[in-house]
Structure 1
């Protein structure tokens, strides 16, 4: 999580800690320590306990209004404070379940203001334009524990990739509906999670999930402990990845596409996970699997769909990748690894 994002998290939490809401048509505010000219941008909370970011608007700037997004509105306000009236752009979160997304959106705005990259009104509209689609996400039915564990396992891999190179976030393709969870020009990686305390049975979906198509394909199975000591929630893992420099809009979009909604965070935070053990394999012709090429053509029946099977890795005689070998394979998912290989 960036310092601006962390500042917003702390500031809004402090504003919300007061049991009494602000009076009608008033804001409770906290400084961002980011300025537009001589005036400071403010975190704010309204009488409905909804979050706002108030950006000073120069007197010669035209008023701005943008209510096209269901999640965030931009309006122009005249506000009284310290004995004078000042104009502000009011960036207002309209959905409580978008609070976490709004924090990162506000961080993006503050970063742009700090860099002086554009006039404040144009900057706010530009940033909202980038985030608009994500602000349209509405709460979906919650993830099962199995799905939440699977997402956490993928986030553990993503964290290692982003720690090496933040641009490696683009290799996380599973949420986009790709065949494999992670892929680059050089490697595909399939991640499987189990919360069982014993055994290594994993479920393989389809004939192509373990099909390497002649490239390098790695299967990584991760055993997770649920609600044990030193566990971590999915929300904590997402925040940690953001703090490593991953693009916040791209990260939140991928997480949403994976089925995770901040609206369900209260339920999800009941579960914490810890990696207990993992084993990785490079898929070769000798690895036990079912793929289309391993079937006689007469056995492939036209119209058959939804092929799934269970693979017991405990009975697999294939050699496991050592930790250093796995780290090298993960490095192949990043732009830096490709750049190094080409030099």
Structure 2
């Protein structure tokens, strides 16, 4: 079973979709037989991805190669009144769901090719060992989500002009993520659990360009195994639309992403659940230098970070037509860059 199909099935289980009720727990029959039963996809108590490999009741199973990212054990469930013994594999880290799906697909392929469940499990894990490692701190899910947010905004602008990559200033560590003339756009992303809350990391981040205006684009990206949004996919869209592929690659690398197809940057998938744009003006809740006496940050205050509840900024939310017009104005600034 291809990894993509497995992920779709696991995602369906997470949504409470159709599943076989013949087994004690919700599961999906893959149709792949081991001689002791059919391989099944299931979920852990917290929604973790699981692969159940039927083995003989009398089969001796040596010590299983579990890790911080992967739990492997033996479980017995009743199927139509008959106890079935399973080699039970569970992915413990959601960020590795994509890798686990690949591992599961390879195990099933090896079983179809004649390997026993235990042998298929052991050899596949040995081959994938280097990938089944908890991701380090070098690339966090927040960084992945943040890059995707800016790429989504860039894709929108490139649909209007293939040279719009020149407006992308975030990778260059400028104040705003997109800037042209007197117009700027700052991009923020939120998760499903933080729908109405964004974090501002500098006192000038919500300060418009001198004499100009600023909009805030907020993308709600929910992490899901079956999501259709990833760094690789959106980067591919952007590279196809851009007038200069190498310049875009250079900008993407500015965020430390030197390979947009790498597993490191694509270990999470997302679904775009919502998108809102706001005009950042005097009505918008923010902290800027003018918020302090004499318009300057107090001496000794070196960093300011704060959260904004977007529920208090509804009066600043822009209509779709206004957003389209604003993006067109921003792209028109390319004539003067």
Give the TM-score range, shorter chain: 0.5 to 0.7
Aligned residue runs from structure 1 range 19-34, under 5 A: none
Moved over 3 A (4+): none
Q: Structure 2 unaligned runs (5+)?
A: 1-135
Counterparts of 1:62-101 in structure 2 under 5 Å?
A: none
Structure 1 equivalent of residue 321 of structure 2: 324
SS of the residue corresponding to residue 189 of structure 2 reads strand
Counterpart-to-counterpart distance in 1, 2:164 and 2:202? 26
RMSD: 2.4
Q: Distance in 2 between matches of 1:317 and 1:195?
A: 19
Q: Could you list the per-position Cα deviations for residues 138-194 of structure 1 after superposition, in whole angstroms to 9, with x for gaps in the alignment?
A: xx9742100110100100000010111011100000100100000000310000101
| Cα deviation, residue 251, structure 1 | 0.4
From 186, 190, 196, the equivalent of 2:192 is 196
Instruction: Look up the match of 1:146.
Output: 142
SS at match of 1:179: coil
| Residue among 248, 269, 273 paired with 1:272 | 269
Q: CA deviation at 1:319?
A: 3.1
Aligned to 1:155: 151
For normalisation by structure 2, the TM-score amounts to 0.55
CA pair 221-257 structure 1, distance change in 2 beyond 3 A: same
CA distance 1:248–1:275, change in 2 (3 Å): same
Q: CA offsets, 1:18-37, max 9 Å, x none?
A: xxxxxxxxxxxxxxxxxxxx
TM-score, normalised via structure 1 length: 0.54
- Consecutive unaligned residues of structure 1, counting only runs of 5 or more, are 1-139
Does the 8 Å contact 1:184/1:332 carry over to 2? no
Tell me the matched-pair count: 200
Q: Deviations over 1:195-227 (max 9, x none)?
A: 134531100111110011331100111100112
How many angstroms does 1:304 deviate by? 1.6
Going from structure 1 to structure 2, the CA distance change for 1:274 and 1:293 (only over 3 Å counts) comes to same
Output aligned runs, 1:1-343, within 5 Å.
Answer: 142-212=138-208, 213-262=210-259, 265-297=262-294, 300-335=297-332
Once the two structures are TM-superposed, the CA of residue 297 in structure 1 deviates from its matched residue by 2.6
Other structure's SS at 2:220 match: strand
